[in-house]
C-alpha cells in the first residue's frame, strides 16, 4: 500500500469514528439518567386549544386542565403569532404548576384579523333595533 492510500484510509477511519461518536451523542439525547439505569424521557405532546393570550403567555386548554404556555422562538423567527382559537401541541414543563411550551401550531381553518382569532366556526352580529336608532 502506498502512502496516499494509507493516508486516505487513516482519514476515512477518523471520519468514521467522529460520525460514530456524533451518532452516539444524538442517540443519548433521548435518554435521561435516573437512578442507576438509563430510561427513555417522556416528552409527551398534548393537543389543546388556545383560550387566551396575554403578553406572550398563552392559556391552552387540554381536556379539563388549562396550562400557561410560552411559544417557541421559532414562531417569532417565522413571523407566526399564535392566536386565540389555534389548535396546538404543547409539551409540559411542570404538571404541578401547569406550565408548558407551545411546540406546534396546527393548520388554521380560518383566521380573522380584527379581533385576532383563528378557527371561528360561528359569528353572531348584535345590534340595537330601537335605541339608539340603527344607521343602516
Alpha helices in the chain (DSSP H): 3-28, 73-77
DSSP labels for 23-51? HHHHHHTTEEEETTEEEE----EEEEEEE
- Each residue of 61-111: pLDDT tens digit? 999 999 999 999 999 999 999 999 999 999 999 999 999 999 999 999 999
Query: Does residue 100 contact residue 90 with C-beta atoms inside 8 Å?
Result: yes
Q: 25 or 49: whose pLDDT is higher?
A: 49
Q: 127 or 115: whose pLDDT is higher?
A: 115
Short-list 88, 86, 89, CA closest to 120: 86
- Each residue of 109-123: pLDDT tens digit? 999 988 899 999 888
- How far is 103 from 105, CA to CA, in rounded Å? 7
17 pLDDT tier (thresholds 50, 70, 90): very low
24 pLDDT tier (thresholds 50, 70, 90): very low
> Which structural domains are found in the chain, ordered by start?
45-118 (2.40.50.140)
Residue partners of 82: CB distance under 8 A and separation at least 6: 50, 53, 58, 71, 75, 88, 102, 105
Query: Does residue 130 contact residue 98 with C-beta atoms inside 8 Å?
Result: no
In the predicted model, is pLDDT for residue 126 greater than 60?
A: yes
Query: Does residue 44 contact residue 91 with C-beta atoms inside 8 Å?
Result: yes
pLDDT at residue 134, as a whole number: 75
Residue 50: count other Cβ atoms within 10 Å of its Cβ: 24
43 pLDDT tier (thresholds 50, 70, 90): low
Amino acid at each position: 500500500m502506498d502512502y496516499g492510500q494509507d493516508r486516505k484510509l487513516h482519514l476515512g477511519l477518523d471520519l468514521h469514528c467522529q460520525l460514530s461518536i456524533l451518532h452516539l451523542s444524538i442517540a443519548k439525547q433521548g435518554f435521561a439518567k435516573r437512578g442507576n439505569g438509563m430510561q427513555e424521557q417522556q416528552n409527551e405532546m398534548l393537543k389543546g386549544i388556545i383560550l387566551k393570550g396575554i403578553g406572550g403567555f398563552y392559556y391552552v386548554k387540554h381536556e379539563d386542565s388549562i396550562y400557561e404556555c410560552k411559544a417557541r422562538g421559532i414562531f417569532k423567527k417565522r413571523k407566526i403569532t399564535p392566536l386565540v382559537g389555534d389548535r396546538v401541541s404543547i409539551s409540559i414543563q411542570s404538571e404541578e404548576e401547569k406550565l408548558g411550551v407551545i411546540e406546534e401550531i396546527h393548520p388554521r381553518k380560518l383566521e380573522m384579523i380584527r379581533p385576532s382569532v383563528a378557527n371561528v366556526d360561528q359569528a353572531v352580529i348584535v345590534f340595537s333595533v330601537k335605541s339608539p336608532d340603527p344607521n343602516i
